[in-house]
Structure 1
């Protein structure tokens, strides 16, 4: 999953940089690998060892293309079983969608979705 996110953000950055002179993108990824822990398991009558590392990371990216109007960003951080993040998207109708989300093993996934519209003023 981590490598897919990294690959996606790099592809978006390269495409935008090549196709549009007035666009920019940015991304930041930090991965914090912990020490591996040995986990003893029992599967189909056989004992086995697994290795578990405490998952911890954070990433963010932003794309803003004034030529196409494509504007979006996302940020997320994970520490163990707790994931907190959000994203912003300028939708095709001109409205903005802001989503903040939180997930953990205790309460599951919750998202707060807000929409805002920009009022256009016409001058005669």
Structure 2
């Protein structure tokens, strides 16, 4: 009988089990970047965490030609972010790539009756 498996009853309803917490604080580092010449997408993100301290930054090329850079840090008591921009916003004149529509239809002038 000593080799028989031991079965435990499931917890009774209404008494949830306490959550399990890791014994070691989290620690990681990651980053990624995207550069797509076809669509013009260009952005990236990097972050690292060691226990309660998390810090990182992300960048994105904006449609107006500037680069937005967000740098952040959280020491466990709230997120602090700093947003900066590189470059100058450009707003070029819009030039349609299609031809102008034809003039609206106007009937030809009526011929004067000869007397």
Instruction: Quickly name the TM-score band, shorter chain normalised.
Output: 0.5 to 0.7
Cα distance in 2 for partners of 1:57, 1:74 equals 14
2:67 aligned with 1:96, yes or no? yes
C-alpha spacing 1:86/1:51, structure 2 compared with 1 (3 Å):
same
The answer for unaligned runs of 5 or more in structure 2 is 1-13, 91-115
Please give the TM-score of this superposition, normalised by the length of structure 1.
0.53
Higher relative contact order (CA 8 A, sep 6+): 1
CA RMSD of aligned residues (A): 2.7
In 1: Cα distance, 2:18 partner to 2:67 partner: 50
| CA distance in 1: counterparts of 2:19 and 2:87, whole angstroms | 54
Consecutive unaligned residues of structure 1, counting only runs of 5 or more, are 1-43
Aligned position for 1:66: 37
TM-score normalized by the length of structure 2 = 0.56
Give the helix-richer structure, 1 or 2.
1
State the aligned residue count: 77
Counting strand residues as a fraction of each chain, which structure ranks higher? 1
Runs of 4+ in 1 over 3 A off after TM superposition: 44-49
